[in-house]
Amino acid sequence: MTSNLVSRITGMVCEGWSWTVIALSIASILFVWHEWVSKKWKKQETPMPPGPRGLPFIGNLLSLEADLHLCFTKLAKTYGPILKLQLGSKLCVVVSSPLLVKEVLKDQDAVFANRSPPIAGKTVTYGGIDIIWSPNGPGWRTMRKVFGQKLMNNKSLDACYGLRQQEVHQMIREVYSKIGTPINIGEKMFLTMLNLFMSMLWGGTLQGEEKTSLGVEIREVVAEMVDLSLKTNISDIFPVLAWLDIQGIERRGKKLLAWMDRIIDSVINQRLKMDGEKRKGKMEEEEKKDFLQFLLELQKEGDVTTSLTMIQLKALLLDIIGGGTDTTSSTVEWVMAELMQHPEIMRKTQKEIEEVVGMDNLVEESHLSRFSYLNAIVKETLRLHPVIPFLVPHCPNVSSTVGGYTIPSGTSVFINVWKLHRDPEAWEKPSEFLPERFLNNTEKYDYRGNNFTYIPFGSGRRICAGIPLADKMSMYVLASLLHSFEWKVPNGMELDLAEKFGIVLKKKNPLVIIPVPRLSNVKLYM
């Protein structure tokens, strides 16, 4: 990721600039910054966390490896459960023990509940005013309240069930049309989840070809937004150079946001137009109410505690699309990959689903609470393959002390969830896929973030707000895939569980498998 950083900086800056002038300017700025940082550190009353020595100016950048979750885990073996890394001008701290994670996410939750968004993340979220990147303040609390209490409550989710049901049944029809043909599960699940989220967001507004074409367009934009966020940005590493936007990341981010903004504006305008007209079938409309309708109704109510500005509303819609689609589809792919590696576990969960649903019906959400073994499988998958391996970095708003070490204000604090979930002191046979470990500990190992050996969705006030929806959608899709189809590996293809690090932890090699019908009643696939 950063092995050729210096040469890349040189090459990019030289385009259209006098290297000599720019080099001297940068060197001067970095020297002043280096001296300031050195003096600042010397003034600390308590020591900074240990960590590897870095080079002047660039710090530890060149010593990092592409798979950061493995790199940080390896460093923890040398420097301990809290360590520091200097990445250019940015100080980072990595925490990887349950006790220290508790200090950060619970004991000092209010201090560490802020963010330090990268330029790409800030650019594509209307200046970082969304739930993910907003600082811990009134604006964030309002958005969080709207999302958690208004959209994620049982009433709102139940009102959208008809929309989710339509999309899952459509997925089954599409998979059935590919019987005997290898399917890239990751790609298929991404598109399925995108359709599911779009249906819930504005499913009552768009229909038919318009909805399909919009889905393709959004998929391309979201993929590029994620790719942009993964790029090493010199402007983040050396903020004094941000005005140059050397790599053009900020400019590209603004174009992507403008593209997405036009799409969202178009959908909102259509919804407002529909709401202004007299419409028939009110009972059916209530049964398939989408999130956009809920949000616009909240605006009309004028309650200051739940009323969002139009920009906040659009940022919230973007969060749901970008934050939910990739993570949930990756979870489904990882579960299917683990089950393909453990066919006896797959057969066991298929039997559980069959006993609840029968072979003459399709899975419905009303069945999900009875799939205890499938639920354990999902939890075990999230333990071994946490979707966000470091969570979203926390940032203290004041200088604080964790584990006896000083964490200066503005530090990016990474929680190494991947290491926590594989800690041999907390987990028996931590590298093995054993869903049974979750069957008798449903309260201990829930998603609420109270047990700091298992926090796939984080903890504290910044815990993922979409847990009810993510859990419901991943379970519904998985149960449908496992009940409706058997799955085979194509001839000559080997299964693997190799990981590819990123904002979302994905499979390095896509899972490609072949569906075979399980249900005898062909009409269920139509």
Per-residue pLDDT of the chain (526 residues; tens, 9 = 90+): 433 433 443 344 334 344 444 544 565 565 555 555 555 555 556 899 999 999 988 899 888 888 999 999 999 999 999 999 999 989 999 999 999 999 999 999 999 999 999 999 999 999 999 999 999 999 899 999 988 888 888 888 888 888 899 889 999 999 999 999 999 999 899 888 888 888 888 876 666 666 667 777 787 888 788 778 778 899 998 888 999 999 999 999 999 999 999 988 888 888 888 766 645 545 444 445 788 888 888 877 767 667 788 899 999 988 888 888 889 999 999 999 999 999 999 999 999 999 999 999 999 999 999 999 999 999 999 999 999 999 999 999 999 999 999 999 999 999 999 999 999 999 999 999 999 999 987 778 999 999 999 999 999 999 998 999 999 999 999 999 999 999 999 998 889 999 998 888 999 999 999 999 999 899 999 8
Contact 92, 107 (CB under 8 A): no
The CATH number assigned to the domain holding 22 equals 1.10.630.10
CA 369 vs CA 200, 212, 372, 375, 477: distances in Å:
21, 31, 7, 9, 14
CA distance 107 to 94: 17
Contact 422, 356 (CB under 8 A): no
- Tokens representing 196? 């599911």
Contact 163, 169 (CB under 8 A): no
Q: In the prediction, which pLDDT does 21 show?
A: 46
Edge-to-edge strand list for the sheet holding 90-95:
82-87, 90-95, 412-415
Identify any residues that bridge with 469 across adjacent strands, giving them in sequence order: none
Q: In the prediction, which pLDDT does 220 show?
A: 81
Q: In the prediction, which pLDDT does 41 show?
A: 55
Residue type, 366: S
- Tokens representing 4? 């050729």
Q: What is the distance between the terminal CA atoms of the chain, rounded to a whole angstrom?
A: 47
Residue type, 416: N
Contact 40, 399 (CB under 8 A): no
Containing domain of residue 489, as a range?
5-525
Q: In the prediction, which pLDDT does 15 show?
A: 42
- Tokens representing 129? 């005013």
Q: In the prediction, which pLDDT does 14 show?
A: 39
* 506: enclosing H helix or E strand: strand 506-507
Residue 172 burial (CB < 10 Å; 0-12/13-18/19+)?
A: buried
Residue 86 burial (CB < 10 Å; 0-12/13-18/19+)?
A: buried
- Tokens representing 338? 């683990």
Identify any residues that bridge with 516 across adjacent strands, giving them in sequence order: 486
CA distance 98 to 90: 25
pTM for this structure? Answer: 0.87
Q: How many residues does the chain have?
A: 526
Q: In the prediction, which pLDDT does 207 show?
A: 63
CA distance 110 to 102: 13
**Alpha helices, DSSP H, located in 203-309:** 208-230, 234-237, 249-275, 282-287, 291-301
Q: In the prediction, which pLDDT does 211 show?
A: 67
Please tell me the total count of domains within the chain: 1
Edge-to-edge strand list for the sheet holding 183-184:
183-184, 512-517, 485-488
* 323: enclosing H helix or E strand: helix 310-341
